[in-house]
A and B are shown apart, each in its own frame.
Chain A
């Protein structure tokens, strides 16, 4: 019991440590009591070629983007007020419970709640039946099975919305700063051509964590098409969602004022019964025009060997 508490405390401390770094940039304000997608404000800037300009630091919501409040949103549960919440995928109303101020949570209780909150949404990829037990096993045993443990990259699309985008005439740069911690937070970057080139034939590619990406504009939406992955990642933050080397990922980025909406579709006929499309995730531009990305947090895994229960993120 003591060992378990120590591990959970360490994990929680790592998460909170990263919060402090990410909280530096957004303008100070009161705590958010909702996690519903932010409403866009302002105009959408455009580049000289007329496309929306996605350039910017997209961490304006503050907090740790891999933290529980944001992951509840990523999971498709929109808490719209202190009395109304809904599952965006199914439309089902979710009962809201006011916090009990006389019942503070210790780290163990908060971690257990976090594991539930991150998984309560309805938008789950539908695997072929022969893989149902394996996916469940992966998530159940994520402490040992999560390929992003031991400081390995999250990969695509698990990396989610990049914290920084730089847009150039013939390519875009995506940066995903590492946040330390236990899961899927290693630094990644992607340089993605928008010059009209085609994919390399899949059989000529060595599988990588971020695959081979090419992008084009579909109206005002940047469409990033990727294949050529290795099979060493899961494709969402939680859930044990494994995939094969033939996974095909299509990400759609749409800027509206100070918001960036990201939706991803995963195709993997070897594993999935049907393509899976994420519930749209919305990032907010950092309101500070001088915002800079924080230094990446190093990842040095020391806890895994000491975990004695199956409790996990």
Chain B
């Protein structure tokens, strides 16, 4: 074996020592890490059943999901017992978050907060405002960004965003593990999500950071743990069993998952006519 001249070795060691603790990786490594993260979640799938003459590549199969759970949410600085029922989708990007909060000694409060694309509204009942006389849909356009962000902060959202962002996605390794950083787009342009992966390539933490002070109110973190297939119709899609959402270090939601259906259930988010015609705000 050829030995390096001592001067060259010294330089090599010096370069190695001066390398930052966080190492950004190239395109090949990025692809490898993204694929590992997607596979850990069960997102990229193919099947040949009924296709003797066909061998299609896999595709991202995550579209609609429905989860239910219980835990707490922050209500004016108090942690309040909360039941969660969340329907969401990525095509179109939409969510309906139904919360039933029961403060100690108080009566239950029920809210339904919905978002789709650049529209946000609150529903007095599921599907309110779509059929005459059936509930009230109240535009809530100022909430568009915050509601959309929660969809993209889910593990599946981060992986999708990272693939969509292409070369703008950065994969790094550091002592704490591997991270994926991807800029969001559309109404969420100016916000970057950064996911931390564990040794099994499962996303355990997602941080959302705004590039400008104007969007700093959206800075937040989410922690994911206890991954399993929590669905009744098993799909081999891994979902977290616990979700903790924080803002400025304070826990704003802490949910233990009861079921998380991932079989692309029938979940639709039609925009009520009065919401469609509502004036836009700066948040849209």
Could you list which residues of chain A lie within 8 angstroms of chain B, going by C-beta atoms? 12, 15-16, 18-20, 23, 26, 29, 31-35, 62-64, 66-72, 77, 79, 82, 85, 87, 90, 92-100, 105, 109-117, 119-122, 124, 126-130, 132, 135-136, 139-140, 239-240, 273, 309-312
Contacts of B61 in A (CB 8 A): 113, 116-117, 120
The contact of B234 among A69, A112, A135, by CB within 8 Å, is: A112
13 A-B pairs whose Cβ atoms sit less than 8 Å apart in the complex: A31-B53, A32-B55, A33-B55, A34-B56, A70-B50, A95-B43, A95-B60, A109-B236, A128-B127, A129-B125, A129-B126, A240-B266, A311-B234
User: Is A97 within 8 A of B44, CB to CB?
Assistant: yes
Number of B interface residues in the complex (CB < 8 A): 52
Q: Is B233 an interface residue (CB 8 A)?
A: yes
Chain B contact residues, majority secondary structure: loop
Which residue of chain A has the shortest Cβ distance to B50 in the bound complex?
A67
- B283 shortest CB reach to chain A, Å: 23
User: Is A132 within 8 A of B268, CB to CB?
Assistant: yes
- B52 shortest CB reach to chain A, Å: 4
The contact of A63 among B52, B60, B163, B233, by CB within 8 Å, is: B52
- A76 shortest CB reach to chain B, Å: 10
Q: Is B237 an interface residue (CB 8 A)?
A: yes
Q: How many A-B residue pairs have CB under 8 A?
A: 198
Contact bitstring B33-51, A, C-beta under 8 A = 1, else 0? 0010011000111111111
Could you list which residues of chain B lie within 8 angstroms of chain A, going by C-beta atoms? 35, 38-39, 43-63, 66, 91-92, 125-128, 130-131, 134, 160, 163-164, 232-237, 261-268, 270
User: Is B130 within 8 A of A273, CB to CB?
Assistant: yes
- B98 shortest CB reach to chain A, Å: 13
Q: How far is the CA of A18 from the CA of B47 in the complex (A)?
A: 16
Q: How far is the CA of A23 from the CA of B45 in the complex (A)?
A: 24
The contact of A120 among B52, B63, B134, B163, by CB within 8 Å, is: B63
Which residue of chain A has the shortest Cβ distance to B51 in the bound complex?
A69
Which residue of chain A has the shortest Cβ distance to B91 in the bound complex?
A122
User: Is B267 within 8 A of A136, CB to CB?
Assistant: yes
User: Is B46 within 8 A of A117, CB to CB?
Assistant: yes
User: Is A99 within 8 A of B49, CB to CB?
Assistant: no
User: Is B266 within 8 A of A135, CB to CB?
Assistant: yes
Known: A70-B50, A87-B91. A113 touches B236 (CB 8 A): yes
Which residue of chain B has the shortest Cβ distance to A34 in the bound complex?
B56
User: Is A132 within 8 A of B126, CB to CB?
Assistant: yes
Contacts of B92 in A (CB 8 A): 90, 122
Contacts of A82 in B (CB 8 A): 57
- B131 shortest CB reach to chain A, Å: 6
Q: How far is the CA of A128 from the CA of B61 in the complex (A)?
A: 26
Q: How far is the CA of A25 from the CA of B270 in the complex (A)?
A: 44
User: Is A97 within 8 A of B60, CB to CB?
Assistant: yes
- A122 shortest CB reach to chain B, Å: 4
Other than the given A69-B50, A139-B266, A240-B266, 18 more pairs (CB < 8 A) read: A20-B52, A31-B53, A32-B54, A33-B54, A94-B59, A95-B164, A96-B60, A98-B58, A99-B46, A112-B236, A113-B45, A129-B126, A129-B131, A130-B127, A135-B266, A136-B265, A136-B267, A273-B270
